[in-house]
């Protein structure tokens, strides 16, 4: 929550490249020519698109790069105007507003090996991690799954990184296995017992990963979602409750069918948000009293049980009153 009030930066799209079927890579530089904040592997930025939508994208540039940020955008067939707009309308030279980076998916410290599992465009934070692991001379293995080989971005640089560093890239193309997805449980069962496990990919892959890692220590299991879980997230079925905003002393109603974020906006209270799906963490808010009804895909089980923070774009309340640090 400490970096909840992320500042905004104006950037220019310097270059757009087609790097795989359905994937464009964007290079962003500060419009005023200044340096960008350093961003450790796993970080993402929110991008404000000129069509009014905001989307989160993982940075693929190494932490040491402060001259530009690279992101990759996959065209989502179910796009509600985010990725489709980038693919169809965004041109080099355009100005965009972005947030400063935030990191919900940091790499562990120490010598334990990293086992990385990426599905589709979930390779973006994982590629940043590989670069960091190589730079630090640490042990890693990547399992990279895509629907087909031509949809796989960064394949050559990943293989080059593996041969230069003693890492390992195991590729899995669904269409070469009769459409069968990567067996994530099998990957997990063969991971070294002291490994840290990382997964970023579509919801079915992440759900399989969480099932396969149930017996692992939670602090060695790391996920990043870019799609809401397949599990239902009934964000508009919340019962009425009240929220006290301690910074202003106001108490507002959250009517049935609304989220706390929507209630704040209706009441003219400015709070940061981006995805509105419980994925990016931008709206994470400290809970001072009351018990949240967590419905996000972001907080760990431990964080949910601690009830210290709430993702206000989708979670509700189990108590008639929630007191929030807003």
Asked if 72 interacts with ligand FES (CB under 6 A), we say no
Q: Shortest gap between Cβ of 285 and ligand FES (angstroms)?
A: 9
The stretch near ligand FES (CB under 6 A) out of 31-39, 129-137, 206-214, 280-288 is 280-288
Toward ligand FES, which CB reaches closer, 16 or 283? Answer: 283
Residue 119: name the closest of 184, 175, 48 by CA. 184
Task: Please select the residue that binds ligand FES; options are 102, 273, 290, 322, rule is CB under 6 A.
Answer: 273
Neighbours of 219 (CB within 10 A): 10
Task: Please select the residue that binds ligand FES; options are 90, 212, 280, 310, rule is CB under 6 A.
Answer: 280
DSSP label at residue 32: T
| Three-class secondary structure of residue 50 per DSSP | coil
Toward ligand FES, which CB reaches closer, 21 or 203? Answer: 203
The stretch near ligand FES (CB under 6 A) out of 202-210, 230-238, 273-281, 317-325 is 273-281
Number of residues that bind ligand FES (CB under 6 A): 13
Task: Please select the residue that binds ligand FES; options are 129, 311, 322, 326, rule is CB under 6 A.
Answer: 311
Chain position carrying tokens 């340096």: 35
Two structure tokens written together for 112: 């334990």
Q: How far apart are CA 182 and CA 178, in angstroms?
A: 11
- Please, is 99 exposed, middle or buried when counting C-beta atoms within 10 Å of its C-beta (0-12, 13-18, 19+)? buried
Task: Please select the residue that binds ligand FES; options are 229, 282, 309, 317, rule is CB under 6 A.
Answer: 282
> Can you say how many angstroms the Cα of residue 101 is from the centroid of all Cα atoms in its chain?
11
Which residues of 4-147 form beta strands (DSSP E)? 8-20, 23-30, 43-48, 54-58, 69-74, 95-99, 102-103, 114-119, 140-146
Q: Shortest gap between Cβ of 280 and ligand FES (angstroms)?
A: 4
Q: Shortest gap between Cβ of 266 and ligand FES (angstroms)?
A: 16
User: Between helices 155-165 and 123-135, what is the axis angle to 10°?
Assistant: 20
Asked if 281 interacts with ligand FES (CB under 6 A), we say yes
DSSP label at residue 277: S
Toward ligand FES, which CB reaches closer, 165 or 297? Answer: 297
Residues 79-138 close enough to bind ligand FES by CB under 6 A: none
The stretch near ligand FES (CB under 6 A) out of 63-71, 95-103, 214-222, 267-275 is 267-275
Task: Please select the residue that binds ligand FES; options are 22, 125, 278, 290, rule is CB under 6 A.
Answer: 278
Residues 21-40 close enough to bind ligand FES by CB under 6 A: none
Q: Shortest gap between Cβ of 297 and ligand FES (angstroms)?
A: 9
Task: Please select the residue that binds ligand FES; options are 112, 276, 303, 323, rule is CB under 6 A.
Answer: 276
Q: Shortest gap between Cβ of 74 and ligand FES (angstroms)?
A: 19
The stretch near ligand FES (CB under 6 A) out of 209-217, 247-255, 272-280, 317-325 is 272-280
Contact positions vs ligand FES (CB under 6 A) = 273-276, 278-283, 298, 311, 313
């Amino acid at each position: 929550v400490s970096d909840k009030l992320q500042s905004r930066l104006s950037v220019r799209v310097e270059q757009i490249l087609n790097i795989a079927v359905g994937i464009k890579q964007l290079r962003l530089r500060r419009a005023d020519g200044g340096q960008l904040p350093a961003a450790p592997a796993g970080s993402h930025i929110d991008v404000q698109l000129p069509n009014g939508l905001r989307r989160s994208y993982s940075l693929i540039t190494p932490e040491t790069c402060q001259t530009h940020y690279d992101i990759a955008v996959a065209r989502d067939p179910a796009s509600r105007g985010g990725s489709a707009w980038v693919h169809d309308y965004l041109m080099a030279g355009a100005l965009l507003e972005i947030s400063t980076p935030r990191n919900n998916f940091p790499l562990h410290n120490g010598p334990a090996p990293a086992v990385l599992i990426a599905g589709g465009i979930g390779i973006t934070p994982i590629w940043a991690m590989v670069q960091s692991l190589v730079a630090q001379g640490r042990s890693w293995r990547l399992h990279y799954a895509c629907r087909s080989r031509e949809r796989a971005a960064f394949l050559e640089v990943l293989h080059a990184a593996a041969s230069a560093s003693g890492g390992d890239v195991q590729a899995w193309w669904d269409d070469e296995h009769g459409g069968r997805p990567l067996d994530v449980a099998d990957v997990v069962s063969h991971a070294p017992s002291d490994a840290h496990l990382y997964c970023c990919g579509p919801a079915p892959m992440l759900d399989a990963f969480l099932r396969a890692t149930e017996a692992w220590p939670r602090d060695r299991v790391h996920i990043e979602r870019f799609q809401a879980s397949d599990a239902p997230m009934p964000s508009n079925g919340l019962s009425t409750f009240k929220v006290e905003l301690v910074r202003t002393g106001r108490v507002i109603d959250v009517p049935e069918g609304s989220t706390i974020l929507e209630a704040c906006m209706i009441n003219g209270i400015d709070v940061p948000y981006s995805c509105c799906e419980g994925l990016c963490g931008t709206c994470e808010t400290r809970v001072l009293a009351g018990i949240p009804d967590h419905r996000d895909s972001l907080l760990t089980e431990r964080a949910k049980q601690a009830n210290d923070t709430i993702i206000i774009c989708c979670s509700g309340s189990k108590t008639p009153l929630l007191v929030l640090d807003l």
